[in-house]
Amino acid sequence: MANSIGQALDRVDGRLKVTGAATYSAEHKIENLAYAVIVPSTIAKGRITSIDTTAAQRVHGVLAVLSHQDRLKLAKSPKDIQPGSPADRVLQLLQDDQVVYGNQPVALAVAQTLEAAQEAASLVKVHYAAAKPSVTLDRPQHDFYVPKKMGGPGEPPDSNRGDVQAGLAEAAAHIEQTYSTPFQHHNPMETHATIAVWNGADKLTLYDASQGIFGDRNRVAELLGLQPDDVRVISLYLGGGFGSKGPTWSHVVLCAMAARHVNRPVKLVLPRPLMFGPVGCRTETRQTIAAAAKQDGSLTALRNEVLSHTSTFDEFCEPASIPTRMLYSVPNNTTHQRLIRSDIGTPSYTRAPGEAPGTYALECAMDELAYALNMDPLELRRKNYATEDEDKKLPWTEKALNKCYDLGAERFGWSRRNPEPRSMRDGNHLMGWGVATALYPARRSESSGVARLASDGTVHVDAGSQDLGTGTYTIMTQVAADGVGVPASQVVFRLGDTRYPATPVSGGSQTAASTGSAVYLAARALREKLIQMAIADSRSPVHGARTSDVEIENGRIGMRGDAARSETLRELIGRSGQPNVQGFADTKPGEEAKKYSGYSFGVQFAEVRIDADLGQMRVERMLGVFNAGRILNAKTARSQFIGGMVWGISFALYEHSVYDERLGRVVNNNLAEYHVPTNADVGTVDALWVDDPDDRVSVIGARGIGEIGITGAAAAIANAVYHATGKRVRDLPITLDKLVSS
């Protein structure tokens, strides 16, 4: 693995994207296509008393207007989900008259044109018996409950070691504060989109904007009474997902149901307002943290009590307590996760679920503790460096966080920071510097891949997987190239189809480690077959040689160290008469997953500029330094890290889904009022990394990088704001009014 891996290879799909030739889910050309438009509920809680579709049915081109009154049959109740399937959600599929959140699908208009479907949907008259919704965390404690499971990592909802009260009592300084993060809704460039095509009564093809095509296939098959192999899901390109497109949501199954009902293909694309409600969100969190230390900075106690929302009909827990359990060395540590049932669509995975809000609260608390100790915030973190996972009592697979601290501090110029709040100025602007630690779990799941050498000498590699726009096509090409021993230009990699070998959801930063390992091992299996074929071939330059003496390099097979005794792979397979030679791999984590704790780590530095009179603020620069195992592509990796850091700016200063608590509905359900940073809002952002391979996590030494870039970023900015102003804002987002108010 020395030629392609790690290089800043241009995206292999880049030309297709910039020329518009990349086909996204809503863009597939399907004959006789009809269009579906969802009629969303205008209340958040209650029941439907009547639906009048008379006017809608009269619109020219309308094929059907479906509601619970049509009693469309399913093979299984959408309320039933398989145990142990965290990506499956309880769905709303027009089966009853109950309304359980705002923007819930209550009817579906299907027509020959999109315009006719939109007009028909607007004419559907729905009458409700509304009840008062609740969408706030300000509820009596008896409404809190212990979650059945955390949101994915398999952790218990509570943890405890040592005696926190004793740790607090022995401390020289301690702080206890509550930090809150708001509701946030996914808003990728591409909204959710599905095309459903039936072939007879029991064969279904879905072109779906999905991060998890195999989970999609299984859930749809289960609900519609089909065999999984009779459902084909295709997702060639995604315009962003960030967790939202991981589960199978109601619109996917509704599209398939509608196509079956009207007996023709149907396309359903969610408009931007329907990104708020039916397809998940990051829940509001409230975290109460107590942190205590001796005078030298040694932590004596950490406690984090987390409260967040789930829906009334399903359960999702945002595991924000996880960083508090293991990031720092502390003998006395306790965490609690509690949920409140609210009248909202079920929260779900959003980039770095748990770790993004969890590092915000923990890293702000560490900053406050550093000020209480009159200690440098970076030194406090160094002082409590965890040499093992003290929560699981396991060694790390690999950890180079101290290298990140050193490199980041030097590059950012941390030693020039005046620690006194409001002490650094540039004219009438207050300047602030903040720091925070970043982390994200190193996950790996079972995955498969196949590699074939074709008669023309090209290597064709298939793995189901998905490319969210992060560069999966490219890094898998590089991994396969090095696995076989050919240039990347000689590899054709395909993904996004359930007819290819099975892979996990592209979520949890696991694609590189999981599917990358499968692709590499499939390529190695192909390589070994080719070597044995050459050794057995009397016309081969390596005929009769020992396996250890044969190498494949740059697309040629020959004797190691003897360039004259070699030939191209095309020549080798051409003599064989075979159309192709194939290698397959099916991989999964082994015993190492039980022996070690795997995490990626990093550090975030932020500089903010704030008008001393008006409170207007800007993140002037950010620097992130990360340790995420082997970096597979320097160019796409930097984009991933920077993308996460920019979202950290958004997390800290902009994003906030505002609910009208009287109606239970999001009032800023559009990109005009749901604020995210534009180019003009983002200063200099730079990302570096410590490239230490982690062979305990994956055979290619890689850990995922899709999510670590957002972790710690909001805290670094919040800590910089305090350093600039002397005002601690613990309720995100940090807006101008919170800085200028007394």
Percentage of residues in the chain having pLDDT higher than 70 = 98
- How many other β-carbons are positioned within 10 Å of the β-carbon of residue 729? 18
The alpha carbon torsion through 695, 469, 3, 689 (nearest 10 deg) reads: -60
Give the whole-angstrom CA distance, residue 630 versus residue 637: 10
Give just the sign of the alpha carbon dihedral 667, 671, 672, 675: positive
Cβ atoms of 293 and 369 closer than 8 Å: yes
Is residue 88 scored above 90 in pLDDT? Answer: no
> What's the DSSP call for residue 52?
E
Instruction: Output the six-digit token pair for 316.
Output: 């999702």
Give just the sign of the alpha carbon dihedral 626, 586, 584, 206: negative
Percentage of residues in the chain having pLDDT higher than 90 = 96
Which one-letter amino acid corresponds to residue 494?
Answer: R
Is residue 2 scored above 60 in pLDDT? Answer: no
Q: Where are the alpha helices (DSSP H) in 491-632?
A: 511-536, 569-576, 592-595
Interior CA angle at 283 toward 280 and 289, to 5°? Answer: 155
Comparing 81 with 51, the larger pLDDT belongs to: 51
pLDDT of residue 81: 79
Averaged pLDDT of the chain: 96
Whether the bond into 421 is cis, omega within 30 of 0: no
Give the whole-angstrom CA distance, residue 656 versus residue 301: 32
Q: Lowest-pLDDT range, 16-20, 148-152, 558-562, 736-740?
A: 148-152
* Residue 621, CA distances (Å) to 348, 371, 435, 602, 645 in order: 31, 23, 12, 17, 11
Cβ atoms of 635 and 488 closer than 8 Å: no
Q: Assign 414 to helix, strand or coil.
A: helix
Give the whole-angstrom CA distance, residue 671 versus residue 654: 12
Instruction: Output the six-digit token pair for 49.
Output: 């008393």
Domains of the chain: 14-21+445-588 (3.30.365.10), 32-132+189-240+245-275 (3.30.365.10), 346-443+594-740 (3.30.365.10)
pLDDT of residue 1: 47
CA count, 13 A, side-chain hemisphere, 112: 6
Residue for token digits 């290879």? Answer: 9
- How many other β-carbons are positioned within 10 Å of the β-carbon of residue 532? 12
Q: What is the pLDDT of residues 337-346, one digit of tens each?
A: 999 999 999 9
Predicted confidence band at 198 (pLDDT cuts at 50, 70, 90)? very high
Is residue 84 scored above 80 in pLDDT? Answer: no
Q: Where are the alpha helices (DSSP H) in 185-266?
A: 213-224, 250-262
Predicted confidence band at 83 (pLDDT cuts at 50, 70, 90)? low
What is the model's pTM? 0.97
With CA atoms as reference, report the closest residue to 505 among 214, 91, 166: 214
User: What residues have CB less than 8 Å from 349, skipping those under 6 apart?
Assistant: 87, 151, 152, 243, 244, 246, 247, 280, 507, 508
The mean pLDDT of 554-572, rounded to a whole number, is 95
pLDDT of residue 266: 99
Q: What is the pLDDT of residues 611-651, one digit of tens each?
A: 999 999 999 999 999 999 999 999 999 999 999 999 999 99
Give the whole-angstrom CA distance, residue 75 versus residue 366: 52
Catalytic residues: 707
Q: Are strands 429-441 and 425-426 parallel, antiparallel or unpaired?
A: antiparallel
Is residue 580 scored above 60 in pLDDT? Answer: yes
For 584-613, letters b (16+ CB in 10 Å) and e give bbebebeeebeebbbbbbbbbbbbbbbbee
Q: What is the pLDDT of residues 287-340, one digit of tens each?
A: 999 999 999 999 999 999 999 999 999 999 999 999 999 999 999 999 999 999
